[in-house]
Structure 1
Amino acid sequence: MKKFLPLSLLFLLAACSSDDDATVNPAYIVNKWYITGTTFSQDNTNYDEGYIPCETDYYEFSADYKFREIGVSQCSETVYSESEYSINGNQVTRNNYSTEIVALSKNQMKIKEQIRYFVTPVDPVIETVIVTYKPVSLQ
């Protein structure tokens, strides 16, 4: 659960657009995904300790276009948010935020987002990040 808070902040603060016309296969997004790493301004942070049953938080995209944020602790799941999602080209929109899918296969998903955080109370920093995920089903 310790990794869920930063991941939640990424999705809650996301606002991204792209001029790229790439299209992703929407069937590949249907899965449960857990975070394996984040790239902040060319500095890669690798979180991949592997999927740990009963402990690893994940995101779920269902075939009926439902999105859920799931927190897991001691084999107990908590749904933090539920919404619908849509895919248009390489953009996925959920919880009223759109992000760019830069890579999507059955084995990996990479999403480019912009996050906003404050170093000081009045000086926001906006940074582009790429978040990498693996499907829970590969474990």
Structure 2
Amino acid sequence: MRRTGGGGRQRGFTLLEVLLAFALLAGAAVLLLSILSNGLRDVADAERHGEAALHARSLLDNLGRVERLRPGRRGGELEGGRYRWTLEVRRVADPLPGAALPPAGQGGEGGIIDAGEPVLYELSLVLEWGEGGPRQRLATRTLRALYPLPEDL
């Protein structure tokens, strides 16, 4: 602000000071809107990840209980194509010392199965949504031990 020489009276802000204040205010507003936009995008990403985790849990919980667990690869869609999933199931050797996977080619995937021992499977599930980029993908792996059904023996 400028003061006049003698009376101590103020005349107000100069045009340059007003323009500078508006420029600073506009810069702060742009920065705030950018932060809010990124925050909203992160919230939407977190929501999709949460939904994908629920779908993954549901798919994995049903395997071996509701539907038979068979080695191989399969996939599908959820929510009308919004989520795509791929599941790979494979038999793995028992991690205990001395236990080995029976040779392949004898009676199916892993040979003769002892009805008293559970069979160990590795389940690899990948869920994707949107473009399927790194921020739009959930991958999980787990092990499942199941006792063989009579038709598997």
| Bigger RCO of structures 1 and 2 (CA < 8 A, at least 6 apart) | 1
Relative to the length of structure 1, the TM-score reads: 0.30
Relative to the length of structure 2, the TM-score reads: 0.28
Higher helix share: 2
Higher strand share: 1
